[in-house]
Structure 1
Amino acid sequence: MKGRVLVVDDDLSLAEMLGIVLRSEGLEPSFCSDGDKAIDAFRDSKPDVVLLDVMLPGKDGIEICRQIRAESGVPIIMLTARTDTVDVVLALETGADDYVMKPFKAKELVARIRARIRRLEPETVEMLNIGDLVIDVAGHSVRRDGVGIMLTPLEFDLLLCLA
């Protein structure tokens, strides 16, 4: 299972370690250490999963998560030292799919990444049309009468199950 992983973290030693671990597990990491450059890195690398720190120079991880979620349903795993419940809830409500606190076990993180990638594997149906509702399965987007509808990943999955 090959998967592209964008790591957005300003801790260069952690990013280097993640690169080694991800490559050894057959994943393709790319890196960004600056919040202001994260969206461009996301668009350029077209990752299958984003690992995103909360505390970054420039834009913080919550704002980056919000921006990524506005244009994509790609899975986002927050990878951060912030352990307060308020931070966890904020990240998840902003659109993150998972929240892993530092320090973490590399094997567990890889398992979480693989679980997210498994859910992205190609499905037989690319687009579903139900009345005036169009569901783009591959693009994780929903439109009604041509107007985009913002859904969390969980809401999108539920809509697919019910469609």
Structure 2
Amino acid sequence: MNNDKTAREMLEEALKVKAEAVEVLKKVNRNSEENAKLLSRCEETILKGLAPVSPAVHVKFAEDVSNRNCHDVILGIVELGLVNRDVIQIHATWDPNCCSFYLSVFPLEQVWSTGAEIVRLLKADVYIDRNRYEDDATPLQQLLELEDKLLELIADAKDKAEVKA
């Protein structure tokens, strides 16, 4: 009877922690949207400040600022892969020929032998030098969405790892 009570208490505590994690992820999503808006305002300000400079020069500078932020998000995604390798497999690739970032996410238990079923949790391609065709999302918006999805997958993987332990 005492063991049942302890197991119930542990389950209740785990559910509370999961609820807190969900709230944190919601805040991260809101912050990502706010950061994208701030970046857009920053780019507009830069373009206004460079108005006396030739249009080609200030457009290139604004693109460089945007790309720098894209590179920072990509590095953050790669860091998430390094830090969370004990709960999930994150495969990130940069293709300099196409100026694109590829991300594939697999469960930790994924088996890579011949004939094994491949279970892909997430697959994404982001081209840094152009907007997405489907919805005209900028590369930065795409990367921030990708980072949010990845954080959710990591949280789920950590929950599953804790339940197994």
Shorter chain as denominator, the TM-score bin is under 0.3
TM-score by length of 1: 0.27
Query: Rg: which structure is higher?
Result: 2
Question: Whose strand fraction is larger, Structure 1's or Structure 2's?
Answer: 1
TM-score by length of 2: 0.27
Question: Whose helix fraction is larger, Structure 1's or Structure 2's?
Answer: 2
